[in-house]
Chains A and B, each alone.
Chain A
Amino acid sequence: MHIIQTNQLTKVFKGNVRAVDSIDFEVDDGEIFGFLGPNGAGKTTTIKMLNTLISPTSGSAFVTGFDIAKNPAEVRKNIGYVSQDVGVDEHATGRENLTLYGHFYRLDGRTIKQRVKELFEMVDLTDYADKLASTYSGGMRKRLDIAMGLIHRPRIIFLDEPTTGLDPQTRLHIWDYIRELARKMGITIFLTTHYMDEADKLADRIAIIDHGRIMTIDTPDALKRSIGGDVVTLSPRESGESERAAFMERTRSILSNKDFVVDMQQTDGNLSIFVESGETAAPAIMNSLASEGIQVQTLSFSRPSLDDVFLKYTGRTMREEEGTRTTFVQMQRRRNRR
């Protein structure tokens, strides 16, 4: 059974910005579904529609069997939402935060008490339950935030970048909780993330979204297989901007008619070439470039990672994305440039 099903789901904002453009996808009951995309690709807009926080411009979506537009009240009963912001009340204790959400979900006092106890144990906050949330570290707040989305035992929980800004060790902890939720409690998880390793390790299936459209959906392994055998990465010797641009252009034109080249993408001043086999392609690339007098600083090749998959479908790396997690103005500018 599909716990989420969208049909031509679309959101158009003021100024005719098509944030989400006729997307169709399904999420299966019990899976961890990774939702990846650059900033401004439409991830959060999609999540907000599925959580009934904003209504779609056109198209429809069913979440836990209910229409998000026609029956938002039923949807809300069955979902948990953990946004990018830490939606925790700092002036209240952990227990007060959780208890309030118990009331919002119409649980009776006894059930709330019981679940609050269980959840604090699960997220290792029992000792801090009665401390003000303002005294919590970032990781503790996120754990409380996740617990608040679980008090009513939802069938699906939306985690919007749950580990952004957390230290590596805390991230590992949160990953454990996420796995436990899915495997032990059978809760479906809809996860967006900026970290490729996170998606790779956790997600059963991954959708990549860009410019409001779903570019591809598959398991992480299938996605990696789909982009061919290996990725060869070249960096030019010259460091000047115009020299680099010339290098990219000439190299691309030389390699574009080689039949062992599947695809090429430019990033961070490097050129990534998707090939069937790195072992045979690397010397061939070197030879054809050398014969044209093009100088290469470094050449490396590797099995494709999810980063390469992301690069192929969005033309950007996740690292570039992180560096530009910035203002709306910059996002707009970037969008206009395209």
Chain B
Amino acid sequence: MDTLSDIWFQTLRHVRTQVRMKVFIIINLFQPILWLALFTQVFKSLSELPEMEVSYLQFFAPGVVVMTVLFGSAWAGMGMLQDIDMGILSKMLATPVSRLSVVTSRVLASMLLLIVQALLIFILAIIMGVDVATGAAGVLFAIVIVSLLGLGFAAFSNGLALLFQRPEPLMGVVNFFTLPLMFLSSTMMPNSLLPDWLDTVRQFNPVDYAVVGVRDLVLEGWIWDDLWRSLLVLAAWAAVGVTFGTMMFRRYSE
């Protein structure tokens, strides 16, 4: 009970913090719009290729959902860093607060915001003319898929924050990994257009499983082979992230 109450009140705190940063909200809302508008223009000619069976907007919208979740969750550790830096974390750990609740509430708050963002992008994409093959149920399923991806990355990022306890290395690692993770997947290009080596590499990339799953739901329908695989791999990825985050928290708090 105590743990649940601690998780609740801290999650509230983190969500409140994010909502109060108005600039952040505006950027987070406009960035996906920018991706959608910009990339569909840049890659417009791709629509004319025979490999591309749909408009690039239709193809790329699932990618934007995944990208937004990836970037948002990969930076989730910054809030934890601030708590460490300001002495908030050590002050908190001198209280009876549930140890488990500290990282859990942070990850939960990140996921809540990402889910809201993902839903908004879906709505936006639909307004722009994207047709979701599996309808509202498919959108919800897609949210489950990207939530697992976000859970893994948010927990991992918090773990890195607790490991480094400084912004520079965290920023370095996040910058180093996020863009390659996106490009080493079918986020921007259909599989058939990817070189062979990349088509192999992407099978080790959790981001790709999210993209494949969400894209199936938007373009094709309920392709359960793909969907199950996505769910399982991403659940495993989430477990890895949570384990890492928990280990780093233990290490920090001895």
Please report the C-alpha to C-alpha distance between residue A91 and residue B18 in the assembled complex, in whole angstroms: 9
A52 on the B face (CB < 8 A): yes
A200 on the B face (CB < 8 A): no
Verify A51–B9 contact, CB threshold 8 A: no
Residues in A neighbouring B229, C-beta threshold 8 A: none
Interface string of B241-254 (1 = CB under 8 A from A): 00000000000011
Within 8 A of A (CB), among B1-17: 2, 5-6, 9-10, 13, 16-17
Verify A53–B87 contact, CB threshold 8 A: no
Contact of A92 among B2, B16, B87, B97 (CB under 8 A): B16
Please report the C-alpha to C-alpha distance between residue A217 and residue B13 in the assembled complex, in whole angstroms: 43
Please report the C-alpha to C-alpha distance between residue A81 and residue B91 in the assembled complex, in whole angstroms: 6
Contact of B2 among A86, A87, A90, A106 (CB under 8 A): A106
Interface string of B84-128 (1 = CB under 8 A from A): 001110111111110000000000000000000000000000000
CB of B22 to closest CB in A, whole Å: 12
Check A52/B94 contact, CB under 8 A, given A96-B13, A103-B5: yes
Verify B87–A84 contact, CB threshold 8 A: yes
Please report the C-alpha to C-alpha distance between residue A90 and residue B83 in the assembled complex, in whole angstroms: 10
Of all chain B residues, the one with the shortest Cβ separation from A78 is B96
Of all chain A residues, the one with the shortest Cβ separation from B253 is A53
Residues in B neighbouring A148, C-beta threshold 8 A: 91
Verify A103–B6 contact, CB threshold 8 A: yes
Residues in B neighbouring A132, C-beta threshold 8 A: 20
Contact of A106 among B86, B96, B254 (CB under 8 A): B96
A18 on the B face (CB < 8 A): no
CB of B229 to closest CB in A, whole Å: 40
Of all chain B residues, the one with the shortest Cβ separation from A152 is B95
Please report the C-alpha to C-alpha distance between residue A149 and residue B2 in the assembled complex, in whole angstroms: 19
Verify A104–B92 contact, CB threshold 8 A: yes
Of all chain B residues, the one with the shortest Cβ separation from A54 is B254
Verify A79–B13 contact, CB threshold 8 A: no
Residues in A neighbouring B26, C-beta threshold 8 A: none
Check A86/B13 contact, CB under 8 A, given A51-B94, A104-B6: no
Chain B residues packing against A (C-beta within 8 Å): 2, 5-6, 9-10, 13, 16-17, 20-21, 86-88, 90-97, 253-254
